[in-house]
Amino acid sequence: MKIAVFSARRYDKTMLAEANAGAGHALRFLEDRLTAATAPLAEGCEAVCVFVNDNVDAEVLGILAAQGTRLVATRSTGYNHIDAQAAERLGIAVVRVTDYSPHSVAEFAVGLLLAVNRKIARASTRTRDGNFDLDGLMGFDLHGKTVGVIGTGKIGVIFARIMAGFGCTVVGYDKFPSPAFETLGGRYVGIDELLQCSDVVSLHCPLTPETHHIVDAASLARVKRGCILVNTSRGGLIDTECAIAALKSGQLGGLAIDVYEQEASLFFQDLSSTIITDDVIQRLVSFPNVIVTGHQAFFTVEAIGQIMRTTIESISDFERGQPLRNRIPANP
Q: Is 319 a catalytic residue?
A: no
Output 132 or 176, the one with its CB closest to ligand NAD.
176
Single-letter amino acid, residue 153 = G
Single-letter amino acid, residue 254 = G
Residue 251 CB contacts under 8 Å (≥ 6 apart), including other chains: 220, 221, 223, 225, 226, 227
User: What is the rounded distance in angstroms from the CA atom of residue 189 to the CA atom of residue 194?
Assistant: 6
Please state the closest distance from residue 214 (CB atom) to ligand NAD, in A.
7
Single-letter amino acid, residue 279 = D
Write each residue from 92 to 131 as x if it is in contact with ligand NAD (CB under 6 A), else as -, in one continuous string.
Answer: ----------x--x--------------------------
Beta bridge partners of 4: 28, 48
Q: Looking at 46, 53, 101, 156, which residue binds ligand NAD (CB under 6 A)?
A: 156
Using only the alpha carbons of the chain, give its radius of gyration: 21
Please state the closest distance from residue 291 (CB atom) to ligand NAD, in A.
14
Alpha carbon 167 to chain centroid, angstroms? 26
- The answer to the question of residue 51 lying near ligand NAD (CB under 6 A) is no
User: What is the rounded distance in angstroms from the CA atom of residue 235 to the CA atom of residue 154?
Assistant: 19
- The answer to the question of residue 77 lying near ligand NAD (CB under 6 A) is yes
Residue from 28, 23, 26, 35 nearest 264 by CA? 35
Q: Looking at 153, 235, 236, 253, which residue binds ligand NAD (CB under 6 A)?
A: 153
Per the document, the length of the chain is: 332
Give φ, ψ of 267 to 5 degrees. -75, 160
- The answer to the question of residue 235 lying near ligand NAD (CB under 6 A) is no
Q: Which stretch in 14-22, 24-32, 203-211, 314-322 sits in contact with ligand NAD by CB under 6 A?
A: 203-211
Residue 49 CB contacts under 8 Å (≥ 6 apart), including other chains: 3, 4, 5, 6, 16, 72, 73, 74, 75, 311, 315
Q: Is 234 a catalytic residue?
A: yes
Please tell me which residue in 28, 33, 81, 234 is annotated as part of the active site.
234
Q: Which stretch in 22-30, 117-125, 162-170, 208-216 sits in contact with ligand NAD by CB under 6 A?
A: 208-216
**Count of other CB atoms within 10 angstroms of residue 161:** 17
| Residue count, binding to ligand NAD (CB under 6 A) | 30
- The answer to the question of residue 206 lying near ligand NAD (CB under 6 A) is yes
- The answer to the question of residue 171 lying near ligand NAD (CB under 6 A) is no
Please state the closest distance from residue 94 (CB atom) to ligand NAD, in A.
15
Give φ, ψ of 49 to 5 degrees. -110, 125
User: What is the rounded distance in angstroms from the CA atom of residue 10 to the CA atom of residue 58?
Assistant: 29
Q: Looking at 6, 260, 267, 298, which residue binds ligand NAD (CB under 6 A)?
A: 298
Q: Looking at 151, 186, 235, 253, which residue binds ligand NAD (CB under 6 A)?
A: 151
Q: Is 126 a catalytic residue?
A: no
- The answer to the question of residue 204 lying near ligand NAD (CB under 6 A) is yes
- The answer to the question of residue 232 lying near ligand NAD (CB under 6 A) is yes
User: What is the rounded distance in angstroms from the CA atom of residue 160 to the CA atom of residue 71?
Assistant: 35
CB-side exposure of 7: number of CA atoms within 13 Å? Answer: 22
Q: Which residue is nearest to ligand NAD (CB)?
A: 153
Q: Which stretch in 112-120, 137-145, 204-212, 263-271 sits in contact with ligand NAD by CB under 6 A?
A: 204-212
Residues that bind ligand NAD (CB under 6 A): 77-78, 102, 105, 150-156, 173-176, 204-208, 210-211, 232-234, 258-259, 295, 297-298
Which residues are the active-site residues? 234, 263, 295
